[in-house]
Amino acid sequence: MAENGRLQPLLRLLLEGSADTQLSMAAYVGELVLTNEVKVFVAQTAGSALVNIMKSGNREAREAALKALNQISSYDVSAKILIEAGANFQSIPLDHNRQTLVSEEIVH
């Protein structure tokens, strides 16, 4: 889909689809090799949605969103957009114990 220049429908499904569809689209974004320009576009278009999935999705959805965020944030400009959208790995919980990616137990 995205490889054929059809990134917008993928992102629309990520933004507007069911929870299962959002999970699938987030996982797909995480697998794509994106140019820096496209990373910025994805961050602007779907960054907030991916952050929201990280904050409130189930474990599988959070893993897919994290992979997508990791892919997108590898470019400084898009990383800044994600930070503005609320991607703060010190405050986004990973589990019911409210541990985050930078919690002592997770890091070690």
Give per-residue pLDDT as tens, 49-105: 998 898 887 889 988 998 999 899 889 999 889 888 877 655 555 556 655 444 345
How many domains does the chain divide into?
1
Q: Per this entry, what is the length of the chain?
A: 108
d(CA 10, CA 26): 9
Residue 48's domain spans which residues? 2-107
Longest dimension (CA), the chain: 42
Q: How far is CA 61 from CA 3, 24, 37, 80, in A?
A: 23, 8, 25, 23
> Looking at residue 8, what is its pLDDT?
92
> Looking at residue 99, what is its pLDDT?
54
Give per-residue pLDDT as tens, 11-60: 999 999 999 999 999 999 999 999 999 999 999 999 999 988 988 878 89
